[in-house]
Structure 1
Amino acid sequence: MPKTIFITGASSGIGKAAAKRFAEQGWNVVATLRNPADETELCNSERLLVTRLDVQDKASIGAAVDAAVACFGGIDVLVNNAGFSLFGVFEALSPQKIQEQFAVNVFGLMDVTRALLPVLRQQGGGTIINVSSSGGVITVPLMSMYHATKFAVEGFSESLSYELASQNISVKLIEPGAVRTQFGARMFSEFAHDPSLASYDFYIEKIKALYAGMLTGDTSSAEQVADVIFGAATDRSARLRYVIGEDIAKLVRTRREMGEESYLALMREQFLSSGA
């Protein structure tokens, strides 16, 4: 019997690439997105269910899980992929946008996980794959709220992995660096600007230029990330973290292996000199 994967945020980028990758490998795929009527590439078929799920709408989460179980009999793997990033200095971010950032990236992920756990336990096990980010390990300027959510996902997932091991459920973290998707475009479109904070302007422009160069450099594709997700879902290992992108992997290793003072000095030199 083919296994079934349940993916959030499948309308574009990593989520859509993962849906296609697993479908190509003969899996049953539940591709969830906020507006299924707008989807043109992913279509309902014998092994592909496209259904609505908004991580901020608990009723839609429950309905999507019920639809998946009714269609395929169960769910073997959950991929929590839905998310977005605010961009801008902390002072310019509104409390409402900060609440939305946590509602989607953290509480939505938790709510979907909570809804799937009874299914996985009843089946005797399964896998939860949380799409985190290298931004859950290292930080950069102008993304403080995104980092706050991804650090939360990292801590939640690591702790959860211990308790769910008792239920034969593995938890895995996907930590990509910059990826060639619409995620970066949305990040820039979500830029928070406050004219009263003009003292930041020069620094902001320098950092934005630095990021623009990073996003046009040798970044990973959504398909490459989907390949890693497929590997994490099928490798049967107890591995927790999967870093994607050699450039970011080096920086993550530096963060984990270099002394705290040396690492912070390295990062401050890069980002403070960028704004000098």
Structure 2
Amino acid sequence: MAKTILITGASSGIGQAAALYFAERGWNVAATMRDPSKADPRLQHSQISLFALDVTDAESITRGIADTLGRYQKIDVLLNNAGYGLFGPIEALSDQQIQKQFATNLFGLIGVTQQVLPAMREAGEGLIINVSSIVGRFALPYASSYVATKFAVEGLSESMRYELEPFRIRVKMVEPGSIATEFGKGSKQIAVSDPYQASMNKFLAVFAKGNSAGAKPEEVAEVIYGAANDSSNRLRYLAKPGPFFWMNRLLPDAAWRRLLVKAMVK
């Protein structure tokens, strides 16, 4: 019997690539997004069902999960993928921008997870995969709000896995580096403040260069698929993390900070 995966944020990028990757390998895929009428034609696949689900709307989450269970009767894997990046100096970010960032990247993830868990507990097993980031493990300048959500996802995921282990529900994270996808193009917001403009421009140039050389969404989807089929209790799966990740791992803190400031700030 085919397994079923529910994917949030499946309209583009990693979510869309994962939907196609799993469907082509025989999985039932509930590809959710805010507006399925705008879905890419490639998602018209016999193994894929499109459902409306806005992670910032509790009622929408309820309907999306109910639609999935009505269609497939179970959810073997939840892929919490919906998210976007908010970039800029913390001084320039409005309360509304920060609240929206957390509502999507963190609170939305929590809301979907909370509503999926009863079905997984009833089934006696399940797997939650949260799309985090390498910046869930170290910070970058001009990304404080986004980085904060990913740090939170890392801690949340690690804590949840202990709580859910008695119910045979496992938790995993996929941590991509730079992504050559809409995230680097349109799925981000930028706030700028005059005193930071020159430094911010330097950061954005490095960021754009990293995206151009980053992992393709299909490469991340392959890592997600591997995690979904890994029966171990491994928590973290890197997806083409890039040189900054390894330098952060290997260099002493002072050397790492000097390198990052030189590359991205001054």
- 1:223 paired to 2:246: no
Q: Distance in 2 between matches of 1:246 and 1:63?
A: 35
Aligned to 1:27: 27
2:184–2:208: 8 Å Cα contact kept in structure 1?
no
Match of 1:203 among 199, 203, 221: 199
Question: 1:202, CA displacement in angstroms?
Answer: 1.8
Report the residue type matching 1:263 in the other structure: D
> Any stretches of 5+ residues in structure 1 without a counterpart?
none
Compared with structure 1, are the counterparts of its residues 47 and 206 closer, same or farther at alpha carbon in structure 2 (3 Å cutoff)?
A: closer
- Which residue in 2 is equivalent to 1:268? 258
Which of 207, 212, 233 pairs up with 2:228? 233
SS of alignment partner, residue 6 of structure 1: strand
Whichever residue aligns with residue 231 of structure 2, its letter is R
CA distance in 2, matches of 1:70, 1:37: 20
How many residues align structurally? 266
1:118 to 2:118 alignment = yes
Number of the residue aligned with 1:175: 175
For 1:193, the equivalent position in structure 2 comes to 192
User: What 5-or-longer segments of structure 2 have no aligned partner?
Assistant: none
* CA spacing shift, 1:272–1:252, aligned 2, 3 Å: closer
Task: Specify whether residues 213 and 254 from structure 1 end up closer, same or farther in structure 2 by C-alpha distance, changes over 3 A only.
Answer: closer
- Is the 1:87–1:187 contact (alpha carbons within 8 Å) kept by the matching residues of 2? no
CA contact (8 A) 1:7 1:80 kept: yes
Percent identity of equivalent pairs: 45
Q: 1:257 offset after TM fit, Å?
A: 5.4
Residue 256 of structure 1: how far off its partner (Å): 4.5
Check if 1:138 corresponds to 2:134.
no
Which range moves more in the overlay, 42-51 or 236-245? 42-51
Whether the 8 Å contact between 1:42 and 1:50 is mirrored in structure 2 is no
Note the C-alpha offset of 1:101: 0.3
Change (3 A) 1:270 1:42: same
How does the TM-score come out when normalised to structure 1? Answer: 0.91
The alpha carbon displacement at 1:268 in A equals 3.0
**Which whole-Å deviations, capped at 9, do the CAs of 1:228-254 have from their partners, x for residues lacking one?**
000000011111000111525xx4455
C-alpha distance in 2, partners of 1:269/1:255?
10
Deviations 1:195-240 (A, max 9, x none): xxx22222112222222222222x1100000000000000111110
Deviates more, 1:37-46 or 1:155-164: 37-46
CA contact (8 A) 1:5 1:78 kept: yes
* Residues 9, 15 of structure 1: 8 Å contact kept: yes
Equivalent residue, structure 2, for 1:83: 83
Amino acid at match of 1:54: D
Distance (Å, rounded) in 1 between the aligned partners of 2:49 and 2:11: 13
Deviations 1:167-198 (A, max 9, x none): 1011000000001110011255x11023xxx2
The verdict on how the C-alpha distance between 1:114 and 1:220 changes in structure 2, with shifts beyond 3 A counting, is same
Q: Deviations over 1:103-132 (max 9, x none)?
A: 000000000000100000000001000000
Q: Secondary structure at the match of 2:242?
A: helix
> Residue 26 of structure 1 aligns to a residue in which SS?
coil
TM-score (norm 2): 0.94
In structure 1, the residue matched to 2:210 is 214
